[in-house]
Structure 1
């Protein structure tokens, strides 16, 4: 099996299949061997035999979705769409049972792409998206289902679906538009999926992969350099970048510049032609002549360095040091430099070059904004390794880096390794990939990790766990392996074991002095057990020790919210107040304090502790006097406490404040919200009229009151709507009679 995995890793599928068959001859019902053989046959295009193997694997392990999913892919490749759809549904159901929503989505998307009118696919996708918090995607699927339902003659169900889409995402323009169309009795636009489904796109990528062979970094760079040269020599003008630094004497004769450009072009063309015929020495000579004629482009320097690196090391080193300034050529240039220096047993400088090459490869796996932090790590690693002055260790570093990235498919290789590492963040900078490569037995470990990753993607968690434990024997203290084991434990619902593993890893990081990584891992443990005070308190201590005060306070807020969700209001309130004390000790964050106080007030309201809530809202008003909801709450709470005079005083104070800052419409809105609660209160009614009269443009005031009345009617609050209509009539608009008719209808209705 291990030989088969190794062959599969190198994409030697025929050889892999042979090893898997040998394994099956020893254990005919071994699920892992069956599944692996099926993949090897599928990759070779031997679809019928692959189907037979996958059917046997499915019988052996009926709860595993991988065979169903791969059979669906084979049926699609054979254009047997109905069977592909059926198997995709089965795979999706099994992935959902295994709590793997992402893979379930992929299979349902496949069905949706090839059978766009399939209601089951859209509704299942909608439910899953909603469950995992991808609300825009859920809305789109609900709307697709609504469209299909309406076109099938069931407008009532279609409307219910659209209304539900609006409920989960009220601001969705697509849902709003669909709702308006349904209200107007119009047909929703016919649902049209993308031109190619996820499986078809995958097959197209696979086909493209076979059409265009993968290149190693030097082949990549050579291909790029020759392409640049070919593009540039077609333009012999003075603006051509190839001739930016053409060296011409001051007393040159007219026309000499043109002659030198033509000479340089001829040398470049001769170099390209000689290279294409395999005449490296001649090609190098022509490239050097082009450079001597004034060509300074890094692509030409790379071509010279590449062509010379086997027979003229000094010339190649000089040329490649120039081409390394081009980001597209840097990695290959440094690899070639490292290789030449390694051959000369100059391991110190070779390691430096190899690490620069490794940085360039690593940088392709991360966002650009993380490049600086990554570059700094590689510099520090280079200094640490070189300080050892251990020739054997230096040579090992050279061989390890060369072996991992001087290969075809290097991009997939480094991207695959990056996916194995913990995610980077501003607080925990990215781990340098090279650290994994520098472990003893790094090739075996990386290959093992990749096999584990593939097993996880096929939902074969037990086999993946076994693979990681085997790798752990090669590097017992490697935290990455322990983290991956914890991840699989979570997938298998072994949460207590995963938490223990995370705590072990965190302690290891602390002992190594890497508290940021310790925080990252503890945060993962905390997510698994949010009410575990031991974990959270240690996390908070570490955050304070790193001077990450805001993050520490945020942890307290999260704890309070956890208590709140568990309906433990006393603990939630006490924790929020603790957060407030901590935040006030440091630099005061006004917005944060306001938000926390509002949460405390909300708890007091739920506990019917009006007096305590009143005190809290009074503090909030001191921090944010413009907040309308806070001022309205102060008025209402005074009424609830029987303090009518205080309520009126609070109301008048608010109106005066909004008048002073020229925000009378805000005062109108506040009083309107209070009228909605107490429509029979004459003080509220009189103040609504008085404030409305203070709006500069009476038309605006009436328009606002009209809109408030509409809102109240829609919510079923007829008494408050009547108060607003009476206020409009009292203001005496030109269309008073129309408002009187509406008022009469409401009173009689």
Structure 2
């Protein structure tokens, strides 16, 4: 009771909370102890003491390992603490709250301080990243090497002592003398900015921005200059470029293209809206982020958090800066995920609605709500929510997120051909040909399951027209043709099937199954002569190799499909003869002779009987008598 009274008098007094929690634990009042430990952990988290907060949260989990709130908080702390230990130990941050421009200035001063010790011409541009053919030739400055060294040394001295005008004059003289170093342009640009000579600052920074060591710092400083001039669109463009480059440094190489598209879409979105107040608010958020202590660490932490919450899609750091109550929102995302894992859908739903009330335009929250609805088997509601989110992403000009949402929708409703068609259009427009073709196959299969066979054939043919643009067109053509031929064989469209199979066999001449299908279809289409040519092609290689067994096997399968084709039976009889299998050859020739007589092919039957007699079968006399009867 004493500790409770102490807390009432001083709610933020940690020792009182700690003693109260320990007391509850000793008294085996587990729920109260856990609740108190979690309260302590949150207080420590708010103070930036992530290590200690995790230890306290672990104590709560020792008492109740299944506690949802404790597990969710631990996940949040793990995400945040990975990049937070330096601050907790009260060590100086690696960038100490300085902006990208300040960091780049330190780099520039360090570079320029080493100039007197360099051997190459002082005016040479630092272009190590350029191909040798594109590197500028060394040039000698208008002043002597000693004079230029003196100018640079004086410029650094004046700049570090805050004598801006004197530093500006030294850097300006160095450039006039032929010194064309990005570090010089960058420092001069910053000095002009500090003297409020923004247009001259922009001119110098626009040179430095093209050199990787100064790109982020230059973009940030350019953003500040344009903002000071009231040119807010250009300011936002440069701040976004700075954030994009920082963000690209936090993602995997495979995510880079998607991330670049997100920033392009974001820039286009602000330009298209023409909403000056919103753009200015976002600009201020970017400035605040880059001016905050440990912004590089925050960027890495934010990336880890975003990737842990994403469902396969890439998200940008800019997204976090546009979310009100970002910390609370992302904590809610983590906790709702934990609730879902534990099958507590109602708790996850309530938490989602609370978060949406705080950030109604943050679409990942709506995606999470759709996911929860799906877990509750409210499929129609989940589909409707996903459609709403996809439409919102589309309006924002974010095709990759639109595609991601549609794909999740299709997992719930795989036969939704309208949505599948939208995904195809989006993927096609983004140049993702392989993914587009995959979706075409899924769409055709959906139409097949819906018994809309002509539409399925149509989609396969559309895919074939797209195949030449694929990275591996031959592989895709074979894959699509196989699916198409299977469908055409089921529909009985023999002319179309023969065309598709002919193309497949041309691509895959060793595909015996495809050639057998082609022979069958050609016979069904009344194109016997072409079927005979394909039969010859089917057995040619095996015949030349003396592989009689394989020849017989292939011809037997072809004849099983077309038992009335006399040409096939004749080939099978010849194959048996080549293999020395006299009785089997006689059997096939006997059947062939009967078929010829029934068809009125008198002279063909005589030839067949003579072939049987030449084999000297057991009932030779009977065949000779039959030959005499028919006039042979």
TM-score (norm 2): 0.59
Contact 1:465 1:488 (C-alpha < 8 Å) held by counterparts: yes
- Decide whether the 8 Å contact of 1:486 with 1:501 is kept in 2: yes
User: For structure 1, which runs of at least 5 residues remain unmatched after alignment?
Assistant: 1-14, 74-102, 104-201, 250-256, 564-570, 692-749
Q: Is the 8 A contact 2:124 2:181 kept in 1?
A: yes
Q: CA deviation at 1:447?
A: 3.3
* CA–CA distance in structure 1, aligned partners of residues 282 and 519 of structure 2: 75
Larger radius of gyration: 2
Q: 2:505 aligns with which of 612, 620, 625?
A: 625
Residues 1:213 and 2:101 aligned together: no
Partners of 2:505 and 2:514 within 8 A in 1? no
Question: Residue in 2 aligned with 1:447?
Answer: 327
Q: How does 1:35-46 map to 2 (within 5 A)?
A: 36=42, 43-44=50-51
| 1:586-665 map, 5 Å | 588=465, 595-596=479-480, 598-599=482-483, 618-626=498-506, 627-628=508-509, 631-632=512-513, 635=516, 653-656=534-537, 664=541
> 2:324 is paired with a residue of what secondary structure?
helix
Task: Give the 3 Å change call, closer, same or farther, for CA 420–406 of structure 1 in structure 2.
Answer: farther
Kept in 1: contact 2:386–2:405 (CA 8 A): yes
1:119 maps to which residue?
none
Indicate the residue corresponding to 1:712 in structure 2. Answer: none
Shift of 1:526: 0.8
- Residue 540 (structure 1) aligns with: 421
1:58 is the counterpart of 2:65: yes
Indicate whether 1:339 and 2:224 are aligned: yes
Q: 1:524 aligns to what?
A: 408
Q: Matched residue of 1:238: which SS?
A: coil
Is 2:229 the partner of 1:352? no
2:288 corresponds to which of 384, 392, 403: 403
Which residue among 302, 311, 330 is the counterpart of 2:186? 302
| Shift in alpha-carbon separation, 1:594–1:556, aligned structure 2, 3 A | same
CA contact (8 A) 2:390 2:401 kept: yes
Residue correspondence of structure 1 range 129-528 to structure 2 within 5 A: 213-215=93-95, 216-230=99-113, 232-238=115-121, 241=124, 260-272=144-156, 287-288=171-172, 290-307=174-191, 309-314=193-198, 316-340=201-225, 342=227, 344=228, 346-347=229-230, 349-366=231-248, 369=257, 377=265, 380-381=268-269, 383-384=271-272, 395-411=280-296, 413=298, 416=302, 419=307, 437=321, 442=322, 444-452=324-332, 454-455=334-335, 468-487=352-371, 497-508=381-392, 520-528=404-412
Structure-2 separation of matches of 1:464 and 1:217: 39
**Paired residues of 1:274 and 1:282 also in contact (CA < 8 A):** yes
Q: Deviations over 1:67-104 (max 9, x none)?
A: 6999xx9xxxxxxxxxxxxxxxxxxxxxxxxxxxxx9x
Distance across 2 between alignment mates of 1:383 and 1:394? 9
**Cα offset for 1:499?**
2.6
* Shift of residue 502, structure 1, vs aligned partner: 0.1
SS of corresponding position for 1:325 = coil
Deviation of 1:473 (Å): 2.4
CA distance in 1, matches of 2:49, 2:544: 71
Q: In structure 2, how many angstroms separate the alpha carbons of the residues matched to 1:291 and 1:501?
A: 60
For 2:520 and 2:219, the matched residues in 1 are separated by 78
Q: Residues of 2 paired with 1:678 and 1:308: CA distance?
A: 88
- Count of residues paired in the alignment: 506
CA distance in structure 1 between the aligned counterparts of 2:413 and 2:54, rounded to whole angstroms: 46
- Shift in Å at residue 602 of structure 1? 5.2
- In structure 1, distance between residues paired with 2:70 and 2:466: 52
2:608 maps to which residue?
Answer: none
Cα RMSD of the aligned pairs, angstroms, is 6.0
Distance 1:541 1:443 in 2: 28
Residue 8 of structure 1 is matched in structure 2 by none
Separation in 1 of the partners of 2:458 and 2:192? 69
State the structure with bigger RCO (CA 8 A, min sep 6), 1 or 2.
2
1:235 deviation in Å?
Answer: 0.8
* Closer, same or farther: CA 685–331 of 1 in aligned 2, 3 Å: farther
Cα distance, 1:639–1:507 mapped onto 2, change above 3 Å: closer
* Deviation, structure 1 residue 408: 3.7
TM superposition score normalised by structure 1 = 0.51
Closer, same or farther in 2 for the Cα pair 1:451/1:543, shift >3 Å? Answer: same
Offset, 1:55: 1.5
**Per the alignment, do residues 222 and 620 of structure 1 end up closer, same or farther by CA in structure 2, a change over 3 Å counting?**
same
Provide the residue aligned with 2:441 in structure 1.
557
Alignment of 1:7-156 (within 5 A): 28-30=33-35, 33=39, 36=42, 43-44=50-51, 51-58=58-65, 60-61=67-68, 64=71
| SS of residue in 1 equivalent to 2:417 | helix
Question: Counterparts of 1:17 and 1:684 in 2: how far apart (Å)?
Answer: 94
Structure 1 Cα separation of the partners of residues 107 and 546 of structure 2: 65
Kindly tell me: are residues 53 and 300 of structure 1, through their superposed partners in 2, closer, same or farther at Cα, counting changes over 3 Å?
farther
Change in Cα spacing, 1:452 to 1:247, as seen in structure 2 (3 Å) is: farther
The residue that corresponds to 1:184 in the other structure is: none
Cα distance change, pair 401–59 in 1 and its aligned pair in 2 (3 A): closer
Q: Distance in 1 between matches of 2:537 and 2:455?
A: 35
Q: Look up the match of 2:251.
A: none
Deviation at 1:616, TM superposition (A): 7.8
Give, in whole Å, the separation in 2 of the partners of 1:432 and 1:443: 12
How far did residue 375 of structure 1 move? 6.8
Change (3 A) 1:206 1:507: same
1:525 Cα deviation after fit: 0.3
